[in-house]
Amino acid sequence: MNLFEAENHIYNAAYLSAMQNKTNEVRAKETGDAVLLLQKKTTQELYTLGSELSKPMKLLNIVFDKAKIKTTLPSDVIKKVNKRNFEGVLNSLSSLKDVIASQSPLLISSGMKPDTETLIQNTFDAITAKSNEQSAYQQQRKAFTSANKGLYKELYVYISEVARMGKIIFQGEQKASEYTLENLIALVNSSRKNKPADGNQNKE
């Protein structure tokens, strides 16, 4: 922060300390946020359910080709999983289940496993339940963020001020590219409260 202080005395050790304290306050709030951990766990479980559809959908494509049934539904499911569009995944699975139900004898004769319709229904139910669970956690997270909006806003003021000053101080240098809101927010999120880190910041 020495270079900052040389250009504007406000950006001194006290400013750095206040910014670090605000960062620690935000981190303490988020560390104690059990809902965030549950939301991340649920989201990962939802992604796992989606990725497990890849193989059976590719095998179904082969069956549909052999049965000469023209449909892109299995491929649509894979694409929507890759895009994390699970509402779309559910819609495609529902349509796929209807096609399988109406063409079951032909599809089975073309190599489809007899329990495929049941497996798709079970997957549909599992993704629906997990999606609902995720949505519930998202709503709780919104309430948490709203309740702590003032705290986040205070930290954002520090970050935006440092970003603005940094881009001016290091204008024309590669280091200037580090002083964007995105980079500084990432730095704040990954920083750790320890003496060496504080020492490094003071040398800037």
Alpha carbon 29 to chain centroid distance?
A: 19
CB 2 within 8 A of CB 15: no
- Bigger pLDDT: 203 or 30? 30
122-127: long-range contacts (C-beta < 8 A, 24 or more apart)? 123/49, 123/52, 123/53, 123/93, 124/90, 124/93, 124/94, 124/97, 126/49, 127/46, 127/49, 127/50, 127/86, 127/89, 127/90, 127/93
Which of 21, 4, 12, 25 has its CA nearest to residue 164?
4
CB 196 within 8 A of CB 39: no
* Amino acid, res. 130: K
Per-domain residue ranges for the chain?
A: 2-32+148-202, 37-136
pLDDT tens readout for residues 93-107: 999 999 999 999 999
Which DSSP letter does residue 180 get? S
Q: Is residue 195 scored above 60 in pLDDT?
A: no
d(CA 112, CA 59): 8
pLDDT tens readout for residues 51-75: 999 999 999 999 999 999 999 999 9
Alpha carbon 111 to chain centroid distance?
A: 38
Looking at residue 198, what is its pLDDT? 39
pTM of the model: 0.58
d(CA 185, CA 203): 20
| Average pLDDT value for residue range 23-46 | 81
Least confident of 92-96, 150-154, 172-176: 172-176
- Using CA atoms of 16, 20, 23, 28 in order, give the dihedral in degrees to the nearest 10: -160
